[in-house]
Amino acid sequence: MSTSHSTAASAALSAATNAARSPTSATPEQPLIRLRGVTKVYGEGALAFQALKGVNLDIARSDFVAIMGPSGSGKSTAMNMLGCLDRPTTGEYLFLGEHVESLTRDQRALLRRRYFGFVFQGFNLLARTSAQENVELPLLYRGESASKRHGAAARALDAVGLKGWEHHTPAELSGGQQQRVAIARAIVTQPAVLLADEPTGNLDTQRSHEIMELLWRLNRDQGITVLMVTHEADMAAYARRIVRFVDGVVDSDAPNPHPVEVS
Ligand SMILES: Nc1ncnc2c1ncn2[C@@H]1O[C@H](COP(=O)(O)OP(=O)(O)OP(=O)(O)O)[C@@H](O)[C@H]1O
Ligand SMILES: [Mg+2]
């Protein structure tokens, strides 16, 4: 990453950091995330495929959104866009007023590391590496000292109910525990937004509800904005809002009238 990019991105994004963490410093009408007319075309020429066909979406701070819709409707494509892993072919993505679509790859990486945590269906943990070390990884990329990494990872593992399991490797943990490690890894950087693409897709019903209760608590207690893709109505029921994708557009977007209340 060049110094000028990193400096420019830091300056542009530090305002966004403060606003993301302190709701009072941002203008009340400015959403955390705003997508306008976002399209995504994969491939070129005769093989080109339009996965997103003009997505409009506003996400407020501390919202909890379930994204649903048929297979191939563009949910993961939209999540990659939201998480700054990819950028729109056309359209606008505003993160606290910053135009993400015009950032360089390096600036997007910076934005991603500062504000986003990711959880995937397949856990994506490093094998033969302890839970503690897996959780420390994002802090290692940030250049944090060993003592800071240890402390933050221990707190994140405690927050997901895995105190005492720090030295176990993924193979020594159940699927539900592995997903908890992945969530600890996602929250260890204190992200503004947690993006979870089918986080319960590989888990049984009981474990799935436990993971949903954990996401629900992180949203309520830490104010983390949670955007979660799921095919299961029982899991979407924990969200406050349900957005449904059909054929590359948002087909419906409505509050969940009766969100599950976790005690
Ligand atoms: N890298 C890629 N190259 C080409 N086409 C792609 C690529 N990624 C996704 N697509 C296509 O874009 C469309 C949307 O894919 P996407 O993964 O966003 O769907 P989804 O809603 O997440 O589906 P699922 O519920 O099965 O995960 C699909 O038709 C898919 O084949
Ligand atoms: Mg998908």
SS3 content of the chain, % helix, strand, coil (to 5): 40, 25, 35
Are 38 and 81 in contact by the 8 Å Cβ rule? The answer is yes
* pLDDT at residue 162 in the model: 97
Closest C-alpha residue for ligand 1 atom 29: 72
CA 76 to ligand 1 center in whole angstroms: 7
Verify whether ligand 1 is closer than 6 Å to residue 184 (CB atom).
no
pLDDT-derived band at 244 (thresholds 50, 70, 90) equals: very high
Whole-model pTM: value is: 0.91
Of ligand 1's listed atoms, the one at least distance from the Cα of 40 is: 12
Pairing of strands 193-197, 116-120: parallel
**What secondary structure letter does DSSP report for 84?**
T
- First and final CA of the chain: distance in angstroms? 45
Domains and CATH numbers, the chain: 3-255 (3.40.50.300)
Pairing of strands 90-95, 98-99: antiparallel
Distance CA 129, CA 62 (A): 32
Asked if pLDDT for residue 82 goes beyond 50, the answer is yes
Asked if pLDDT for residue 54 goes beyond 60, the answer is yes
Lowest-confidence segment of 3-12, 35-44, 183-192 by average pLDDT:
3-12
Q: What is the overall mean pLDDT for the chain?
A: 91
Of ligand 1's listed atoms, the one at least distance from the Cα of 248 is: 14
Distance CA 216, CA 196 (A): 12
CA of residue 203 relative to chain centroid, distance: 19
Q: What number is the average pLDDT over the span 202-216?
A: 96
Verify whether ligand 1 is closer than 6 Å to residue 88 (CB atom).
no
Tell me the ligand closest to 69's alpha carbon: 1
In 3D, which of 1, 16, 81 has the Cα closest to residue 42?
A: 81
Closest C-alpha residue for ligand 1 atom 3: 42
Instruction: Give percent above pLDDT 70 in the chain.
Output: 89
Of ligand 1's listed atoms, the one at least distance from the Cα of 52 is: 14
Q: What number is the average pLDDT over the span 16-22?
A: 50
Q: Nearest-5° angle of CA 26, CA 30, CA 35?
A: 135
Asked if pLDDT for residue 8 goes beyond 50, the answer is no
* pLDDT at residue 25 in the model: 44
Residue 45 CB contacts under 8 Å (≥ 6 apart), including other chains: none
Residue 194 CB contacts under 8 Å (≥ 6 apart), including other chains: 116, 117, 118, 119, 183, 186, 187, 215, 218, 224, 225, 226, 227
Mutating to test ligand 1, I would choose from 52, 68, 75, 79 the residue with most ligand atoms within 8 A of its C-beta, which is 75
Per-residue pLDDT reduced to its tens digit, 139-169: 998 899 999 999 999 999 999 999 999 999 9
Mutating to test ligand 1, I would choose from 53, 67, 73, 244 the residue with most ligand atoms within 8 A of its C-beta, which is 73
Count how many residues are written for the chain: 263
Phi/psi region, residue 161 (left: phi>0; alpha: psi -120 to 50; beta: rest), is: left
Q: Nearest-5° angle of CA 154, CA 160, CA 166?
A: 40
Q: Classify residue 56 as exposed, middle or buried by CB count within 10 Å of its CB (0-12, 13-18, 19+).
A: middle
